[in-house]
Structure 1
C-alpha cells in the first residue's frame, strides 16, 4: 500500500480515490508524522432493494387494469 504525503494527496486526489477503490485503502502522512486512512464506504445491500409500497390493490385488480388497457390499445 502506498503512503502519500499530504501535498501529494492534495495534488492527486482523483487518483488517490481510484487507488483506494481498487486496493481498499490509502494512507496519507502529514508533516508532523500523523497518518490518516482513506477507504471507500461499503454500501449495504443493493441500490435496487427498495421497500414495498402498500397499495391495497389485489393482484386480480392489477391484472384487470392491464387487460383493460390492452383492449383499448389499437393494434
Structure 2
C-alpha cells in the first residue's frame, strides 16, 4: 500500500494511477479525510468491442475464406 498526501497525489497523478493498477493507493487530505484509489478495467461500450484473437492467418487467408464463403452462398 502506498500513501500520498493530497498535494503529492496532485503533483504525481500519473504515478498514482499507474501504482493503483497493481497495489492499493491511499490519498490523505489535511482535514483527515482518506481516499482509496482503485483500478477498474473499462467495460466494452459496444457489443462489437471485443478483444483481438492471436492467429497465424494472413490477410490473404482471411480474404480467401471470405471469397469462398460468398462463392458457396451464391452457388459459384
1:41 aligns with 2:40: yes
Paired with 1:66 and 1:30, the residues of 2 have a C-alpha distance of 67
Tell me which structure has the larger Cα radius of gyration. Answer: 1
Q: SS in structure 2 opposite 1:22?
A: coil
**Normalization by structure 2: what TM-score?**
0.57
**Normalization by structure 1: what TM-score?**
0.57
Structure 2: runs of 5+ lacking an equivalent? 52-67
Cα RMSD (Å): 3.0
Aligned residues, how many? 55
Runs of 4+ aligned structure 1 residues displaced above 6 Å come to none
Structure 1: runs of 5+ lacking an equivalent? 50-61
